[in-house]
Amino acid sequence: MSDELGRRRIGRVETGSLTGRYPRLIGKNARLGDHGRGPVSTTVTVETTDGLRGWGLAGAVPGPVERFVGRTVGELFDPVTGVVDPDARALDLALHDLAGRALDLPVHRLLGTAGPQTTPVYDGGIYFSDLDARDRPAAGVVLADVAEDATDGFAAFKLKIGRGHRWTDPADGLARDVAVTRAVRDAHPDAVLLVDANDGYDLATTLRYLDATADCGLFWLEEPFVENRSDLEVLRRWRDENGSSLLVADGETCPDVEAVVALAADGLVDVLLMDVIGFGFTAWRSLVPRLAGLGVASSPHAWGELPKTLYAAQLARGLGTVVQLEAVPGRVDGLDTSAYRFDGRSLGAPDLPGFGLPEPGSGPGTRWRDLL
Is 199 a binding residue for Mg ion by CB under 5 A? The answer is no
Site residues for Mg ion, 218-247, by CB under 5 A, read 222
Among 47, 149, 196, 270, binds Mg ion (CB under 5 A): 196
What is the C-alpha to C-alpha distance for residues 54 and 34, in angstroms, rounded to an integer? 33
Among 252, 270, 275, 305, binds Mg ion (CB under 5 A): 252
Stretch in the footprint of Mg ion (CB under 5 A) among 68-76, 97-105, 192-200, 353-361: 192-200
Q: Is 258 in a helix, a strand, or coil?
A: helix
Pair 249, 195: CB distance under 8 Å = no
State which residue, 122 or 368, has the beta carbon closest to Mg ion: 122
Pair 30, 197: CB distance under 8 Å = yes
Q: How far is the CB of 225 from Mg ion (least distance, A)?
A: 13
Stretch in the footprint of Mg ion (CB under 5 A) among 99-107, 252-260, 261-269, 280-288: 252-260
Q: How far is the CB of 301 from Mg ion (least distance, A)?
A: 7
R_g (Cα) of the chain, nearest Å: 21
For residue 84, count other CB atoms closer than 10 A to its CB.
14
Q: How far is the CB of 177 from Mg ion (least distance, A)?
A: 15
State which residue, 152 or 252, has the beta carbon closest to Mg ion: 252
What is the C-alpha to C-alpha distance for residues 267 and 99, in angstroms, rounded to an integer? 37
Stretch in the footprint of Mg ion (CB under 5 A) among 44-52, 87-95, 191-199, 234-242: 191-199
Stretch in the footprint of Mg ion (CB under 5 A) among 104-112, 130-138, 216-224, 343-351: 216-224
Stretch in the footprint of Mg ion (CB under 5 A) among 147-155, 235-243, 251-259, 307-315: 251-259
Closest CA to 149 of 183, 184, 117, 174: 184
State which residue, 77 or 279, has the beta carbon closest to Mg ion: 279
Site residues for Mg ion, 23-62, by CB under 5 A, read none
Q: How far is the CB of 17 from Mg ion (least distance, A)?
A: 25
Let me know how many helices (H) and strands (E) the chain has, helices first. Answer: 12, 16
State which residue, 197 or 261, has the beta carbon closest to Mg ion: 197
State which residue, 145 or 196, has the beta carbon closest to Mg ion: 196
DSSP alpha helices (H): ranges in the chain? 2-6, 73-76, 92-103, 107-110, 138-150, 170-187, 203-212, 229-241, 257-265, 281-294, 306-319, 368-371
Closest CA to 306 of 263, 360, 268, 269: 360
State which residue, 222 or 231, has the beta carbon closest to Mg ion: 222
Q: What DSSP letter does each residue of 90-156 carry, written as one string?
A: GGHHHHHHHHHHHHT-BHHHHTT--S-SEEEEEEEEE--GGGG-TTS-HHHHHHHHHHHHHTTT--E
| Interacting residue ranges for Mg ion, rule: CB under 5 A | 196, 222, 252
